[in-house]
Structure 1
């Protein structure tokens, strides 16, 4: 038995992916981001920015800029996953230590559990809306909405139980379908509203207070919220790029997939919401509510099925894969990827998602900005460690060893923990100290910069492991290796 398999840091789910099993190309990453971006929270994010007082052009520009910004740490953190075939909780062992890695992994996992619950609640609402169209008598039961919520929760659990390849297949097949349905909804609603020009002319008038709001006062927290929207996946992107055929495949695929898909679907959300105010006399921010207003049951059901598929895609990819690995990392011998998924599902219910998604202000300024202050510092430390301290060189075998190059002090890198705590405190101090509120508005950026710089300073003069330490052949990880070429 290989040495790594006998210790507490290794299981098959956390092991490096062999080169022969790395099958994800450019299209897989494009479809991954299209599938994750085409979802109800994206739709509601754009509408929420307008509800806060932005014009549709300002909202769209803010979303595009935010996604360009978050693409940078996304691609940087993706590099190690593609090069070494390792998942996020293993990768972060290099900076936090083989035991200390559980700290950022659990923080990331808990945020994912909140997102998982929100997506399940939204999916349950879509099922409930379909039930109201198909069987209104059954939908009138007091418990119907909760039954729909738990039904969608169970579907998510079934998909994650089947494993990562089922998720990949779901992304590839459904991404084009969901985008087409979104465009059809756009053309349908703008046609009823008198055309796209009339719809966009109305887009900044269906929020009564829009003209009275100072754009620059809401721009910064809104931009931070956009970055925070994908700050979760910016950390655990190695969970997906470990399957990449090459660095080029993951970099090009993400660049093509993320900013355009988010911006396009946000535009659909803005236009359709605006059209709804012309057609129904009230701006309907939630597409589930909007589709429920359609008189044609077939059209409503097709649209709701598409929303269900979109929500399922986003949930299992963005909110279950990472925490499943993260919880597995707590005790690899006892917690598998599947068990980690079940833990995620239970915590997703306990976070009471029906409250988190209650209104745009709480969703954007509370949830998105708040947790970005937790995740920005982690991203800063990871990128500083990999690119500055280690020069993109890791010891892949040492990541699975106690007493190895990433042992630090009993498995914890105290320097990384100090940098993390400092970044979080500085980023979130504005919540309790009003004069420093601007730090909270920039939470992700503040945490990223403070923790990254402090980590570099604290690691000055510290001897680090660079390159693959040549362990005995019989002790090497099966399939472990380094992706060479193409910027590896």
Structure 2
């Protein structure tokens, strides 16, 4: 019988394409350990690590809110579940493929971008992922977390919910504004600390997530009159007219992809620690598939079961928790949601945003200033507007898809079709003291820029032209597909 360790070592020997000697040479050129390639001895994530990586991240408030929107798209509850499961396989393929450069060469996202867009050209897509998408998500996660906090405070101190009477600040009342500001400050504080401490909670947090949402699903099936009753439920007020089932499936896939657009674009940051490409491939695929299998059932069951039980169609899981009479149950559910939000917000949003701002303006902005700037912007965009109804969350996801889909398409085209899965590390980590005029990664990859910008503009058209709304609903898919094709055509004509 072959041990797992021996298998891992065998995989590393044949799969990892960076050596200790290369890294030592690159270090002499002034690169620090944060951006240097990870050699086999520094890879600490195997299949089981990747299996648990995304299991908890699937269960968050925006994801449940998105499912609330899916139920109004015209598909049956069973078809919504199937569409979510299909979406998980598409997301897994995206994460695995775009993470392949990281697992083979041990390079982080910043260097993966450089290999695609050039050392100067990497700044724009880095800004789109690290600033635009990260800050927008940071604001949205802060607001959804503040809603959970508001429920918890309201259960303990009901009078808090009536503070301010008629006070209204651009669509949010005083209790909501206080809860948002408090939670915003907490998340900003975690950003200052780098969020490293939160990673230690993962082993405890993930089981709690499944205990809470598993228990909620069982409760929902019971109060909803059984599984057959939930599957037979038909929401009123259909959001979409004249769209066939395949188009609605694509709309759901696009929305789920948009949820993962940011971590998917920077997948190399996670896969650079992989013991092998096989480990991240199997681990991430299993993590997302099983996580979404459970999520597909629990989310539909909770939202529909709660709606049947309370006699009101609910698309936000927090509204259901708010109606619970049991203070201990509601408190446990809210605490888990708050912990999940803080953890994912720190590692996935505020930290990348702060680092990207400091990278764009190294002489004026350091990491701490980046945290402050990103946090202030996330407040000013008034994220509570993104969760006003089931249409709002779709508009947000479509915007994220339009911004990051084109970047993903170019990255995949470059690595698989242009580079043929080969990266020259000696050129990628160019020596600033030498003449790099002939370096393939120097400057701006103009074809990549053209493909990204054209695809971004087209995929955003649906946001502004009502007759082209379908483009907006498929923004990530259209943006990624268009940028890939345009880039390959431009490269072939060169």
Question: Which of 389, 394, 397 is residue 368 of structure 1 equivalent to?
Answer: 397
Question: Which of 76, 87, 100 is residue 121 of structure 2 equivalent to?
Answer: 100
Offset of residue 331 of structure 1: 4.4
Q: Which residue in 2 is equivalent to 1:467?
A: none
Offset of residue 130 of structure 1: 0.5
Mapped contact 2:78–2:231 kept (Cα < 8 A): no
Distance of 2:338 and 2:376 partners within structure 1? 20
Q: Which residue in 2 is equivalent to 1:468?
A: none
Offset of residue 345 of structure 1: 2.5
Q: Which residue in 1 is equivalent to 2:474?
A: 442
Q: Which residue in 2 is equivalent to 1:458?
A: 490
Q: Which residue in 1 is equivalent to 2:167?
A: none
Offset of residue 244 of structure 1: 2.0
Q: Which residue in 2 is equivalent to 1:278?
A: 308
Please list the CA deviations of residues 403-426 of structure 1 after superposition, one character each: whole Å capped at 9, or x if unmatched: 548866972221211111122233
The yes-or-no answer on 1:250 pairing with 2:284 is no
For structure 1, the 5+ residue unaligned runs are: 463-488
Distance change in 2, residues 1:368/1:459 (3 Å): same
Please list the CA deviations of residues 107-156 of structure 1 after superposition, one character each: whole Å capped at 9, or x if unmatched: 11211211111111011111111001112234433343223223322333
Mapped contact 2:36–2:107 kept (Cα < 8 A): yes
Distance change in 2, residues 1:178/1:213 (3 Å): farther
Mapped contact 1:44–1:269 kept (Cα < 8 A): no
Q: Which residue in 2 is equivalent to 1:383?
A: 412
Distance of 1:152 and 1:406 partners within structure 2? 50
Distance of 1:148 and 1:431 partners within structure 2? 31
Q: Note the 1:253-268 alignment, pairs <5 A.
A: 253-268=283-298
The yes-or-no answer on 1:194 pairing with 2:209 is no
Q: Which residue in 2 is equivalent to 1:486?
A: none
Distance change in 2, residues 1:434/1:130 (3 Å): closer
Distance of 1:324 and 1:76 partners within structure 2? 26
The yes-or-no answer on 1:429 pairing with 2:461 is yes
Offset of residue 56 of structure 1: 0.8
Please list the CA deviations of residues 431-458 of structure 1 after superposition, one character each: whole Å capped at 9, or x if unmatched: 4556655444432222222221222233
Offset of residue 304 of structure 1: 1.0
Distance change in 2, residues 1:446/1:243 (3 Å): same
Distance of 1:341 and 1:85 partners within structure 2? 27
Distance change in 2, residues 1:359/1:211 (3 Å): closer
* Range 333-342 or range 447-456, more displaced: 333-342
Count of aligned pairs between the two proteins? 457
* Range 302-311 or range 389-398, more displaced: 389-398
* Range 404-413 or range 417-426, more displaced: 404-413
Q: Which residue in 1 is equivalent to 2:146?
A: 124
Offset of residue 89 of structure 1: 2.1
Give me the TM-score of the superposition, normalised by structure 1: 0.84
Secondary structure of the structure 2 residue equivalent to 1:245: coil
RMSD: 3.0
Please list the CA deviations of residues 296-330 of structure 1 after superposition, one character each: whole Å capped at 9, or x if unmatched: 21111111112212222332343234334433432
Q: Which residue in 1 is equivalent to 2:134?
A: 112
* Range 123-132 or range 245-254, more displaced: 245-254
Mapped contact 2:116–2:414 kept (Cα < 8 A): yes
Distance of 2:469 and 2:69 partners within structure 1? 21
Q: Note the 1:174-253 alignment, pairs <5 A.
A: 174-201=205-232, 204-209=233-238, 214-216=243-245, 218-253=248-283
Q: Note the 1:19-418 alignment, pairs <5 A.
A: 19-109=40-130, 110-142=132-164, 143-163=174-194, 165-201=196-232, 204-209=233-238, 214-216=243-245, 218-331=248-361, 340-364=370-394, 366-401=395-430, 402=432, 404=436, 411-418=443-450
Distance of 2:428 and 2:186 partners within structure 1? 34
Mapped contact 2:307–2:313 kept (Cα < 8 A): yes
Mapped contact 1:98–1:406 kept (Cα < 8 A): no
Distance change in 2, residues 1:248/1:151 (3 Å): farther
Distance of 1:439 and 1:247 partners within structure 2? 34
* Range 14-23 or range 62-71, more displaced: 14-23
Please list the CA deviations of residues 34-87 of structure 1 after superposition, one character each: whole Å capped at 9, or x if unmatched: 121111111111121112333211211222222222222211111112223322
Offset of residue 188 of structure 1: 2.1
For structure 2, the 5+ residue unaligned runs are: 1-23, 165-173
Distance change in 2, residues 1:407/1:122 (3 Å): farther
Distance change in 2, residues 1:331/1:211 (3 Å): closer
Mapped contact 1:40–1:307 kept (Cα < 8 A): yes
Secondary structure of the structure 2 residue equivalent to 1:37: coil
Q: Which residue in 2 is equivalent to 1:473?
A: none
